[in-house]
């Protein structure tokens, strides 16, 4: 009689399926991106570029220019618009042929994307005091990567720098409590990749994370000076003046330098933000779009304040940083870390579709709440947030049959509006999970929470 092998435990089977899913998604990323190394470049760049690797050769050409002492913003086809750090960091890649350098960078970006999914899943689960077993984390990481996959694919096949920035933001969140200095330095590093993480500086001050905020400022300045090791102080200052002049022109401010980085205007067609949608609708550029966007941000913050009040969580009056290692602050901070990024993407005048891969930071807590829900917490807010965000990013499909619908959706800033609409459901889902955790851990009715820690619903 043949011996029967025991069936795998359900958790181990789920972990095996999650690992297989992670592998398949990474294989898909590789298949849609790697072939571009040998593809022909965009016709308009054919006189300079030799691959179809999206933005990679902008960085590569800028690194060559910095290595040779030339202006990085006029290198190649004038496509480098970022702070000098990326050109500085890419200098070692110029020791390789461009195709070999692109292949190496693709491997690095793939590894970082996988690390981001794992780190985001583990950190949110830690802050929400969920079970941190390998079997649980790998399932949440797999669902996170799957939800973010459409936009991560766009990011990877363009060889952009959003994934390294995302990794820095997630590691900063991980270290914020125990290593606030290093968290601040990482945030400063992220700002030197792209300017978007600047939104975390006022947030840290609001949440009384003064040490991290101080090191954030020091990190911005310190990392900004690193390229001077190659270019010299004067050239580095000129590079920064050029970069910031591009941002100033975008916002309708005066130029800081004769040369201006080639930053697209606020009305550019590929920007999917609410701000760009308003600017295109009003044909007013920044004149009316920025005040209108500011009013919408204020309205969104007031709505979220109502969500906090109903959940019994203080929106503004938080204790000192040392006292924020207990709930509800420990978990709420993780929610806000992702919500703030979503809000910034929704209203940035330069949000294009691949930037939304950063929303992995939102998909991770949603995946955790869906895959490991509290018994007393309803899943519907997390499901609603996930559906609104995911559908807003992937619909209408980017196919010839829906080209006109997609163009109209982007013209209106549809994805940005979906990011905004998702936020109340996202925050409510997270706060209710924290409330459900309290109901499980402290079931006695006569236990009175400390001042400011009430989770009682209105």
Give CA–CA dist 255/140, Å, rounded: 46
User: What are 157's two structure tokens?
Assistant: 């096949």
Q: Residue 252 pLDDT more than 80?
A: no
Instruction: Give residue-wise pLDDT tens across range 53-99.
Output: 989 999 999 999 999 999 999 999 999 999 999 999 999 999 999 99
Percent of the chain scoring above 90 in pLDDT: 79
pLDDT of residue 256: 60
Average pLDDT over residues 330-342: 97
pLDDT category at 45 given cuts 50, 70, 90 is confident
Determine contact, residues 82/193, Cβ cutoff 8 Å: yes
pLDDT of residue 376: 80
Q: Spell out the long-range contacts of 64-69 with Cβ–Cβ below 8 A and sequence spacing 24 or more.
A: 64/94, 66/91, 66/227, 66/230, 66/231, 67/91, 67/94, 67/230, 69/231, 69/235
Instruction: Give residue-wise pLDDT tens across range 382-428.
Output: 999 999 999 999 999 999 999 999 999 999 999 999 999 999 999 99
Average pLDDT over residues 202-206: 98
pLDDT of residue 449: 40
pLDDT of residue 437: 64
Determine contact, residues 216/202, Cβ cutoff 8 Å: no
Q: Which of 376, 379, 355, 357 is nearest to 368 (CA)?
A: 379
Q: Residue 450 pLDDT more than 60?
A: no
Q: Residue 4 pLDDT more than 80?
A: no
Distances (CA, A) of 8 to 4, 13, 17, 298: 12, 6, 12, 52
Give CA–CA dist 51/445, Å, rounded: 66
This prediction's pTM = 0.92
DSSP 8-state assignment for residue 442: -
Cα dihedral: 170, 210, 428, 380 (round 10): 10
Cis peptide before 328 (omega within 30 of 0): yes
Q: Average model confidence (pLDDT) for the chain?
A: 91
pLDDT of residue 273: 97
Average pLDDT over residues 305-326: 94
Q: Per-residue b/e over 184-207, b at no fewer than 16 CB within 10 Å?
A: bbbbbbbbbbbbbbebbbeebeeb
Classify residue 228 as exposed, middle or buried by CB count within 10 Å of its CB (0-12, 13-18, 19+). middle
pLDDT category at 446 given cuts 50, 70, 90 is very low
Instruction: Give residue-wise pLDDT tens across range 107-158.
Output: 999 999 999 999 999 999 999 999 999 999 999 999 999 999 999 999 999 9
Q: Residue 445 pLDDT more than 80?
A: no
Give CA–CA dist 32/35, Å, rounded: 7
Instruction: Give residue-wise pLDDT tens across range 368-379.
Output: 999 988 888 889
Count CA atoms closer than 13 A to 421's CA, side-chain side. Answer: 16
pLDDT category at 10 given cuts 50, 70, 90 is confident
Give CA–CA dist 231/239, Å, rounded: 10
């Amino acid at each position: 009689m043949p011996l029967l092998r025991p069936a795998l435990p359900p958790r181990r089977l789920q972990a095996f399926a999650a690992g297989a899913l992670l592998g398949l998604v990474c294989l898909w990323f590789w298949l849609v991106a790697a072939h571009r190394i040998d593809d022909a470049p965009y016709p308009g760049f054919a006189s300079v570029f030799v691959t179809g690797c999206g933005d990679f050769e902008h960085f590569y050409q800028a690194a060559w220019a910095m290595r040779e002492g030339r202006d990085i913003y006029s290198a190649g086809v004038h496509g480098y618009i970022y702070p000098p750090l990326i050109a500085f960091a890419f200098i070692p890649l110029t020791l390789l042929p461009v195709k070999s350098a692109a292949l190496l960078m693709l491997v690095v970006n793939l590894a970082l994307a996988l690390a981001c999914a794992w780190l985001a899943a583990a950190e949110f689960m830690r802050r929400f005091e969920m079970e941190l077993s390998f079997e649980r984390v790998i399932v949440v990481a797999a669902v996170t990567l799957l939800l973010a996959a459409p936009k991560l694919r766009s990011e990877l096949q363009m060889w952009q720098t959003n994934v390294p920035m995302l990794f820095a933001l997630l590691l900063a969140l991980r270290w914020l409590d125990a290593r606030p200095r290093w968290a601040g330095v990482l945030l400063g590093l992220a700002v030197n990749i792209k300017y978007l993480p600047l939104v975390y500086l006022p947030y840290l001050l609001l949440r009384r994370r003064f040490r991290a905020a101080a090191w954030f400022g020091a990190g911005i300045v310190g990392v900004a000076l690193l390229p001077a090791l190659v270019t010299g102080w004067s050239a580095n200052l000129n590079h920064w003046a050029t970069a910031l002049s591009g941002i100033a022109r975008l916002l309708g401010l005066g130029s800081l330098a004769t040369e201006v980085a080639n930053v697209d205007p606020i009305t550019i067609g590929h920007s999917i933000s609410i701000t760009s949608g308003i600017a295109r609708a009003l044909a007013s550029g920044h004149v009316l779009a920025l005040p209108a966007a500011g009013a919408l941000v204020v309205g969104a913050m007031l709505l979220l304040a109502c969500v906090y009040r109903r959940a019994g969580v203080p929106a503004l009056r938080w204790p000192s940083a040392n006292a924020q290692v207990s709930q509800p602050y420990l978990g709420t901070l993780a929610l806000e870390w992702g919500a703030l990024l979503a809000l910034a993407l929704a209203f940035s005048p330069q949000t294009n579709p691949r930037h939304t891969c950063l929303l992995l930071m939102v998909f991770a807590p949603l995946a955790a709440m869906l895959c490991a829900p509290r018994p007393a917490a309803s899943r519907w807010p997390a499901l609603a947030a996930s559906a609104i965000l995911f559908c807003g990013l992937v619909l209408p499909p980017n196919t010839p049959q829906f080209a006109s619908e997609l163009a109209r959706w982007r013209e209106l800033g549809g994805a940005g509006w979906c990011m905004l609409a998702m936020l109340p459901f996202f925050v409510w889902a997270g706060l209710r999970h924290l409330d459900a955790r309290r109901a499980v851990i402290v079931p006695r009715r006569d236990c009175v929470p400390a001042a400011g820690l009430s989770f009682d619903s209105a």
